[in-house]
Amino acid sequence: MKHKPNFFIVGAAKSGTTAMDTYLRRHPEVYMAAKEPHYFANDLLEAGNPALDWDRYDRLFDGVGNEKIIGESSVFYLFSQGAAERIKAFSPDAKILIHIRNPVDVIPSHHSQVMYVGGEPLSDIREALAAESDRAQGINMPENFEWKKTLLYLDFVKFSDQIKRFQKYFGPEQIKINIFDDLKQDTRQVFQDTCRFLAIDPDIDVGFEVINANESMRSKRLMDSLVRNPSPWVSSVAKALFPLSIRNKIKNNIQKLNTSNEKRGALPEDIVQGLKVKLRPEIDKLSELLNRDLSHWHKI
């Protein structure tokens, strides 16, 4: 590999990973590959998945020039059982940036995201949480979603164990943990601290607009019929009229027009309270692991 990455962003849903990726790719000392290759999360994907193709991964770094930091951002590396070990074997001196958020907030955010991309057929989060015990045994999993394991929502937010996996393979000087609360309160400060962690200029102005707001579909029927699972006749007509590049552009435009960035509605109070009870031990573990009082997460 001509240009080996030496920096990886991993994290939770809507925890600032996309924002930090965007800000850093604007920094002249940083090269960030296209988002979410997930090459090292092979335990979450079936053999033969295109994401696991080495040549494809290698090509992500063809544009590297004289940048000091060569990075990539794949959120599911944190959840993956084996990504930390694989990254260590591949790039032992790499720096790891971990983004986390209150797990009580992550579950509905992640549910919304996987529903948006067509992976979660259960739009009612109450039903999705109730299905978890069956799904853990491989029962009633959606057939055409490549990230099936991420639909185990309570496992998905066991951040203390996930962080420990990275701490097992990387020294404390190689790991930085950003918390969404801090990023939201003072984006510039968190960005500058991240730059210092990477030993790059922290005073570059990259703009700090809000990035990665909640996304939802205006019409699931439209997405299914024209983008995800078009009928044979729609596919045949499209192939006859347009080359692949144009078909992809049309699909992207349909997806953009069918995307709403409205604020997600509040969860029913009984679900919120139930999640607080179930996730209290995890929040306490995180507080101890990070040596930081996160007890306010119990109250949100």
The reply to whether 59 falls in a domain is yes
- The whole-model pTM stands at 0.83
The reply to whether 29 falls in a domain is yes
CATH of the domain at 38: 3.40.50.300
The reply to whether 2 falls in a domain is no
Residues 89, 71: Cα–Cα separation, whole Å: 16
Residues 232 and 125 in one domain: no
Residues 171 and 250 in one domain: no
φ, ψ dihedrals at 262, nearest 5°: -75, 155
Total tally of structural domains belonging to the chain: 2
Take residue 294 and report the two structure tokens written for it: 């996160």
Residues 68 and 109 in one domain: yes
User: What 3-state DSSP class applies to 217?
Assistant: strand
**Do the Cβ atoms of 225 and 251 come closer than 8 Å?**
no
User: What 3-state DSSP class applies to 8?
Assistant: strand
φ, ψ dihedrals at 161, nearest 5°: -65, -35
The reply to whether 37 falls in a domain is yes
Residues 3, 1: Cα–Cα separation, whole Å: 6
Residues 124 and 228 in one domain: no
Q: Is the dihedral of CA 228, 233, 237, 243 positive or negative?
A: positive
Residues 85 and 157 in one domain: yes
Q: What was the pLDDT predicted at 267?
A: 87
Q: What was the pLDDT predicted at 239?
A: 66
> One digit per residue, pLDDT tens: the chain, 300 residues?
889 999 999 999 889 999 999 999 999 999 999 999 999 999 999 989 999 999 999 999 999 999 999 999 999 999 999 999 999 999 999 999 999 999 999 999 999 999 988 899 999 999 999 999 999 999 989 988 999 999 999 999 999 999 999 999 999 999 999 999 999 999 999 999 999 999 999 999 998 877 655 554 545 555 455 554 555 655 565 566 666 656 556 655 655 555 555 565 688 999 999 999 999 999 999 999 999 999 999 986
Helix (H) and strand (E) counts in the chain: 14, 7
